Chains A and B, each alone.
Chain A
Amino acid sequence: MMTATPLARVNDCQQLNAPCAHSKLRALLEQGLPLTPHPWQVLAEQCGLEEAEVMGCVKRWREEKLIKRLGLVVRHRRLGIDANAMVVWNVPDELVTRVGQALAKETIVTLCYRRPRRLPDWPFNLFCMIHGVKREAVMAQLETLVERLGLAEIEHQVLFSQHAYRQCGGSYALRRNDELPGV
């Protein structure tokens, strides 16, 4: 049996001849859901599908976790949230899962990933982000967290961002439009 690729699953959504409309829908969705009382209807008209089909597709992509959530993209810097700290930790491998899970539960932590070390220059294997309005506040929160979680022995560094040269969402659908099977 052939294993369906993620891409194939996106396209076997409903109609036999619909992959083109579906890739168009993904591209439209990337630009954001229209701010109107009937957003799905607007998208449906733009890609030649019925409103119910559009909803069905989006729900299915959501269930398959191709779409994590349909959320609001906030420009934090515009709201004064520009103390953006990447905290990197050098955690013994046998502890990294536990520490990662503990950090992820903290309300001030917005992302938490395990990544490979790049020795000898970069010994850090756990990354988390903390966003705040003031650096001092971020540092104080981090200190409290280190103490509470018992992380004092674990080497860490705080890398504040100084400037964002580029900040845009990935645009997978737009780039992929031309290479979808059946298009």
Chain B
Amino acid sequence: MNFLEFDAQDRAIVNRLQNGLPLVLHPYAAVAEELGVSEEELLARLTRLRDSGVLSRFGPMYHAERMGGGLTLAALAVPEADYERVVEILNNVPEVAHNYRREHTLNMWFVLATESSERIPQVVTDIEVATGLPVFNMPKEREFYVRVHLSV
């Protein structure tokens, strides 16, 4: 599916559902009614969007810290010649949830999600040893409330 096949109804569905699914017995029926489509149509569109990869899932956004888990944003300044090797190393670390290349001297940015907050320093050390590079560990100190909603 490409961008053009994503029609107005799909947009309305995606925009509405980014606000979350109501916690009621028949959540899809409730949303379908709001949007003025049948539940069947809504489910068919959602299934198509999921199968085409536009949506990954109706997932719970867990609150990592409240779950007892650890979460941090970290970065590395990787020499260009070394970039592929370091990507390979990070891709083999199960705690690396996201890994982005960004345009900066600090050119590799990754999120570590660990089962316990105590494990973050150990994973950071392991990455420093494996890559030979210092990890800039920047855990969040405060989250400012933002309403995430990307209109499509």
Contact = CB atoms under 8 A, between A and B. Distances in A.
Contacts of A55: 23, 25
Instruction: Give chain B's interface secondary structure class.
Output: mixed
A162 B40 CA distance: 39
A175 interface: yes
Contacts of A121: 77, 105-106, 136
Contacts, number: 228
Instruction: Give chain A's interface secondary structure class.
Output: mixed
A2 interface: no
Given A75-B53, A86-B102, A172 B62 contact: yes
A108 B22 CA distance: 25
B102 A72 contact: no
Interface residues of B, number: 72
Contacts of B140: 113-115
A5 interface: yes
Interface of B: 3, 6, 14, 17-21, 23, 25-29, 39, 43, 46-47, 50, 52-64, 66-69, 71, 73, 75, 77, 87, 90-91, 96-106, 109-110, 113, 115, 136-146, 148, 150, 152
